[in-house]
Amino acid sequence: MVKQSTIEKDIYLPRLAAVKQADLLNETELYLQLAMDGEQLDYVPGQFVEVSLAGVGEAPITISSSPTQKGYFELVVRKVGNVTNAIHKLKTGNKIGIRGPFGKGVYPVEESKGRGIVFICGGIGLVPQRSFINYVLDNRDDYGDVTILLGTKCQSQRFLTDELQSWSKRSDVQFLETVDQGDDCWKGNVGVVTTLIPKIESKLKSAVVTICGPPIMYKFVLMALQEYNLQHEDIYLNLERKMKCGVGKCGHCQINHVYACMDGPVFRYSDLAAMPEAI
């Protein structure tokens, strides 16, 4: 049973972690394998850390690895601003600051046992979902059918391709992928991720569904799922994009009376239904 970690006593004090591996996955995504100095980072799928670089700043990044991996943890960082641009320049052996892990709203690791799970991922939304996906695959007998839907804008923006291929070859996983914009080199599905949903109709009947992707994707995925009469409490959405300070102080991620960084970043759809501005 995975246990949610206890946050360090001083939530504002970064601890050091060393870069064990840094690989550029495409033009905008960087894979980092990190190890804390003298300790283990205990976390559950869905939690995030605040990554800081001295003299540059800090950014919340969701952990992408499964807690079943020990001795290190993994992040995938998109280059979108000053902090993430600086992170992309990190090399093996560099040290960075880590606060966390943070987030009380996490993926339903225990609640989903014995049930099928459908992961719906859009673009960089694959990163946080990957933590839960690989946790489930490492504890495969505890879960029912596993279905992964992935949509990416175009082939050049795909990443973690070796891992995607390994999922596609597993007999105990249904992996479907699509790109919004096809080209001569892409032989797979073309269209947005919602075009894959009718292909897995039988898997949706009693499944838990988790969704993470660009904000516009949520509305259309939820509309598509309405046709299959899923219970809202069985749908989980990751709202990590709204976070900033990580501890509910800046108000950047406040949604009515909740904070994505404190109460999420993963929420049941049934809990968000009364907060339409959340999606």
- Confidence tier at 34 by pLDDT (50, 70, 90): very high
Three-state DSSP class for 273? Answer: coil
At residue 100's C-alpha, the angle toward residues 76 and 258, to 5°, is 95
Q: 247 has which bridge partners? A: none
Range in 110-119, 148-157, 269-278 the model is least confident about: 269-278
User: Percentage of the chain with pLDDT > 70?
Assistant: 96
- Confidence tier at 205 by pLDDT (50, 70, 90): confident
**108 secondary structure, DSSP code:** -
- Confidence tier at 115 by pLDDT (50, 70, 90): very high
- Report in angstroms the alpha-carbon separations of 168 from 35, 109, 143, 171, 242: 29, 22, 18, 8, 31
Which amino acid is residue 173, in one-letter code? V
Report residue 123 as tokens.
């673009």
49-73 residues labelled b (16+ CB within 10 A) or e (exposed): bbbbbeeeebbbbbbbbbbeeeebb
Could you give the CA distance from residue 193 to residue 220 in angstroms, rounded to a whole number?
9
Pick from 211, 216, 218: which is nearest to 238 by CA?
211
Pick from 119, 230, 113: which is nearest to 177 by CA?
119
- Confidence tier at 93 by pLDDT (50, 70, 90): very high
Match 């007999």 to its residue by tokens.
171
Give the pLDDT score at 3: 57
Strands, E, within 27-170: which ranges? Answer: 29-36, 48-53, 57-62, 73-78, 95-102, 117-122, 146-154
Give the pLDDT score at 9: 61
pTM of the predicted model as reported, rounded to 2 decimal places: 0.92
Give the pLDDT score at 1: 60
Which amino acid is residue 93, in one-letter code? G
Could you give the CA distance from residue 135 to residue 43 in angstroms, rounded to a whole number?
12
Query: Do 19 and 32 form a contact (C-beta atoms < 8 A)?
Result: yes
Mean pLDDT on 31-58: 96
Strands, E, within the chain: which ranges? Answer: 15-24, 29-36, 48-53, 57-62, 73-78, 95-102, 117-122, 146-154, 174-181, 189-190, 208-212, 235-238, 254-255, 258-259, 266-268
Could you give the CA distance from residue 207 to residue 58 in angstroms, rounded to a whole number?
37
Strand-pair category, 48-53 with 174-181: unpaired
Give the pLDDT score at 4: 56
Give the pLDDT score at 11: 84
Strand-pair category, 235-238 with 208-212: parallel
